[in-house]
């Protein structure tokens, strides 16, 4: 019994000597410098094993994936039958625009014509390890005027850097 009282008294003394924690202290975040460039080889992007080796904007496999996924989405969800023609003048907008510690991305845009005769801009990003199961690179895209869920609104702006 004496041991239990002694342990209880020690615990009470330890708790009473700790400074009180207020809600404002818990939410008091301090500014810290973020690392957005590689300063040494131990940088987070290097440690995670990213190589940064991504296909070019005009790579035929990138275009094939976008065209296939677009037509599949239009057919399955929207039942419109819209399809994209081959891309014209793919242009790179940015490569790793937020720094080397982030997942490598290449941002691109190209012009295409849908089978309804309208000229549209496709904004897309090629991302390392973002395919199914993170086995390879993946691509996310947005076709101007056809972002029906406004995922990249306004007018696909959020799909660009």
Sheet holding 88-95, edge to edge: 88-95, 105-113, 119-127, 138-143
Give Cβ neighbours of residue 128 (< 8 Å, ≥ 6 apart): 50, 51, 52, 53, 54, 103, 104, 105, 137
The model scores a pTM over 0.75: no
User: What residues does each domain of the chain span?
Assistant: 44-159
Question: Could you read off the pLDDT tens digit of each residue along the chain, which spans 161 residues?
Answer: 666 556 666 666 655 555 555 444 444 444 344 344 444 555 555 556 788 899 999 999 999 999 999 999 999 999 999 999 999 999 999 999 988 888 999 999 999 999 999 999 999 999 998 877 777 899 999 999 999 989 999 999 999 99
Q: Are 44 and 99 in contact (CB under 8 A)?
A: no
Architecture of domain 44-159: Roll (3.10)
Beta bridge partners, 95, equal 106
Report d(CA 3, CA 144) in Å as an integer.
74
């Amino acid at each position: 019994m004496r041991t239990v009282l002694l342990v209880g008294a020690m615990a009470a003394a330890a708790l009473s000597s700790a400074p009180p924690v207020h809600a404002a202290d818990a939410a008091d975040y301090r500014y810290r410098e973020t690392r957005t460039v590689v300063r040494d080889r131990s940088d987070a992007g290097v440690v995670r094993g990213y190589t940064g080796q991504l296909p070019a904007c005009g790579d035929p496999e990138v275009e094939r994936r976008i065209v296939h996924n677009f037509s599949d989405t239009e057919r399955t969800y929207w039942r419109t039958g819209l399809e994209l023609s081959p891309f014209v003048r793919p242009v790179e907008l940015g490569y790793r625009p937020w720094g080397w510690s982030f997942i490598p991305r290449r941002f691109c845009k190209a012009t295409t014509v849908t089978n309804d005769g309208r000229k549209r801009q496709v904004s897309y990003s090629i991302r390392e390890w973002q395919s199914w199961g993170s086995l390879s690179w993946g691509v996310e895209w947005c076709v101007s005027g056809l972002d029906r869920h406004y995922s990249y609104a306004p007018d696909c702006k959020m799909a660009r850097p």
